[in-house]
Structure 1
Amino acid sequence: MMSSGHTPFPKAAFESLASSEASHWWFRARNRLIVWVLKSRSVKFRNFLEIGCGTGFVLEGISRNFPEAELFGTEYFEEGLAHARGRIPTATFEQMDARLLNDVERYDLIGAFDVIEHINEDEAVISNISRALHKNGCLLLTVPQHRWLWSEADERACHVRRYTRAELIGKVRKAGLEVQYVTSFVSLLVPLMWLSRQRRGQKSAEKNSEFDISDTTNRILEFAMKVELKLIQLGLSLPFGGSLLVLAKKAGS
């Protein structure tokens, strides 16, 4: 899912993504947090739509943890959907631009995980999502956080912005949604993130080059994220971090 004017990801990037997600610390950690939030906040849903589902890694995790839910996924790029369909054959998929989502009160839960930062018209997309939710339905978002972490890596990833907490909460509320829970994550690794983003030449690096790390480094980073999740589970809403999660609810009648 990308803003107009950006070049689509090459097909090889989706193939690399699909082969790396299941073992990569970042995707595994984000899935654990998403599932924990849904369970700990007792989010009830019969159906779930993921906007910008990519290769289907999050949907696969939702399917394992909530097997009774009817699953839907939309994605801007058909190259991503080719992998997603293979991962979750029971889900319904559609190639779609989120700016054109026009459903009305159709879904109990909608997720967009590191998607809206690619879209210039992010407020329109959040408004579309709000309209598509049933009354008392929920939106779960993750986005990259802190403008001071902006680097060539964001440009390579075709990001339009990194969010502040106040900015994202404001846009969610403007769409008529009530924030239920918010936390930063990738907090313990912020110093490492900042240092890595000072290196030159990131913009010219290959897409998904951040996957080229050793198994040892991958295990260390995942361990740090498991420690962080424990802190969140103990009730800490982390005030800073490389990413931000927001759970919001549409008011009932």
Structure 2
Amino acid sequence: MRECGACHAEFDSLTHECRECGHSPQRIDGLIAFAPEMAASEEGYKAEFYDEYHGLERHHFWFTVRRDLIVFFIRLHRPDVSAYFEVGCGTGYVMEGVGQAFPEAHLSGSEMLTSGLTLARKSLPSAEFLQMDARNIPFKEHFDVVAAFDVIEHIKQDDLVLRQLYKAARPGGVLIVTVPQHQWLWSEVDVYSQHERRYSAPALHTAIEAAGFRVVDSTSFVTFLLPLMLVSRLLGRGRSADADPLSEFRIPGWLNGVLTWIMRLEAFFVRLGLRLPIGGSRLVVALKDQRPV
């Protein structure tokens, strides 16, 4: 079901034009815009990150292995996915992997800023891309899988985003999220990246279950590289808050290859069923239970 942004009526339609009041969302740069007043905002995220990430993520060890893990967990918990929705989809890199793994699934992605979506739709012309505020998602019980990858840590009202994702998921649907983990890893990188927080596993699980979901799987990742990550953050403390946080992503090719191998080894054990207690990031899968009969 879709939900009207003006009168909040629910309707089943292939378009976003409300059958009750006739409201139709605006378009910006050819994109359907549900929050046009925020399309150029940098609340929680810097627009220039999109161009940087678009070049980095397709080769960098963290982005590539994270995407593989996400696809693995979707396949593990919802192999029959037919409708996938990702808030904060960025340049669409994860969506590309989901589309390759589940070619029959209909893909939808959203961003508050239009600059990321412009890059995403070039790679995925058949997907639906929407400009919106994740705190106000215009869908109800519409998707088999709802997702947010390194998104909710940017938003003060993360509880509201999780409730909106719960609303958008079908009964029996799955939520999958990734977040940065461990407040003791906080550094100027988090400040520059406009993070509101880093999560602990209990805090994240509590927030997800408070939204209505039931946590069914959870693991850390970037575990084998945690000592290296900790040293990097300690050395960076005292660095100017406007220092370039992406410098740690721009690494020599040989080093990227070594770190990719280590991350893939870690992912191999996760696929075998090992769930890691600590790590730079955490991935959680949760279920929206079917309605009682």
Separation in structure 1 between the aligned mates of residue 168 and residue 271 of structure 2, nearest angstrom: 30
Separation in structure 2 between the aligned mates of residue 174 and residue 187 of structure 1, nearest angstrom: 27
2:69 corresponding residue in structure 1: 33
2:262 corresponding residue in structure 1: 224
2:28 corresponding residue in structure 1: none
Asked if residue 244 in structure 1 is aligned to residue 271 in structure 2, the reply is no
User: Which of 197, 206, 209 pairs up with 2:247?
Assistant: 209
Name the SS for the 1:166 alignment partner. helix
Separation in structure 1 between the aligned mates of residue 128 and residue 180 of structure 2, nearest angstrom: 27
- Indicate the structure whose relative CO is greater, using CA pairs within 8 Å and at least 6 residues apart: 1
Asked if residue 192 in structure 1 is aligned to residue 228 in structure 2, the reply is yes
2:185 corresponding residue in structure 1: 149
Residues 91-145 of structure 1 deviation map (CA, whole Å, 9 limit, x = unaligned): 0001111011132111111110000000000000000000111110110000000
Residues 30-73 of structure 1 deviation map (CA, whole Å, 9 limit, x = unaligned): 01101111122344311000100000000011011100000000
Residues 192-248 of structure 1 deviation map (CA, whole Å, 9 limit, x = unaligned): 111101124262222532221100111111111011011112211100000001100
Separation in structure 1 between the aligned mates of residue 45 and residue 259 of structure 2, nearest angstrom: 29
Q: Which amino acid aligns with 1:9?
A: K
Q: Which amino acid aligns with 1:142?
A: T
Alignment of 1:7-86 (within 5 A): 8-11=45-48, 13-86=49-122
Q: For structure 1, which runs of at least 5 residues remain unmatched after alignment?
A: none
Alignment of 1:58-137 (within 5 A): 58-137=94-173
Q: Which amino acid aligns with 2:46?
A: F
1:233 corresponding residue in structure 2: 271
TM-score under structure 2 normalisation? Answer: 0.82
Aligned residues of 2:90 and 2:111 also touching (Cα < 8 A): yes
Q: In percent, how many aligned pairs have the same letter?
A: 41
Structure 1 residues 100 and 7, CA gap change in structure 2 (3 angstroms): closer
Q: Which amino acid aligns with 1:246?
A: V
Structure 1 residues 10 and 209, CA gap change in structure 2 (3 angstroms): farther
TM-score under structure 1 normalisation? Answer: 0.94
2:4 corresponding residue in structure 1: none
Separation in structure 1 between the aligned mates of residue 136 and residue 127 of structure 2, nearest angstrom: 21
Separation in structure 2 between the aligned mates of residue 124 and residue 16 of structure 1, nearest angstrom: 29
Aligned length: 250
Please, what is the CA RMSD of the aligned residues?
Answer: 1.6
After TM superposition, the structure 1 stretch with the greater mean CA deviation from structure 2, 184-193 or 100-109, is 100-109
Separation in structure 1 between the aligned mates of residue 42 and residue 260 of structure 2, nearest angstrom: 35
State the shift of 1:6 in Å: 4.1
Separation in structure 2 between the aligned mates of residue 112 and residue 61 of structure 1, nearest angstrom: 15
Separation in structure 1 between the aligned mates of residue 188 and residue 167 of structure 2, nearest angstrom: 35
Q: Which amino acid aligns with 1:224?
A: I
Aligned residues of 2:45 and 2:154 also touching (Cα < 8 A): no
Aligned residues of 1:156 and 1:202 also touching (Cα < 8 A): no
Q: Which amino acid aligns with 1:218?
A: N
Q: Which amino acid aligns with 1:97?
A: D
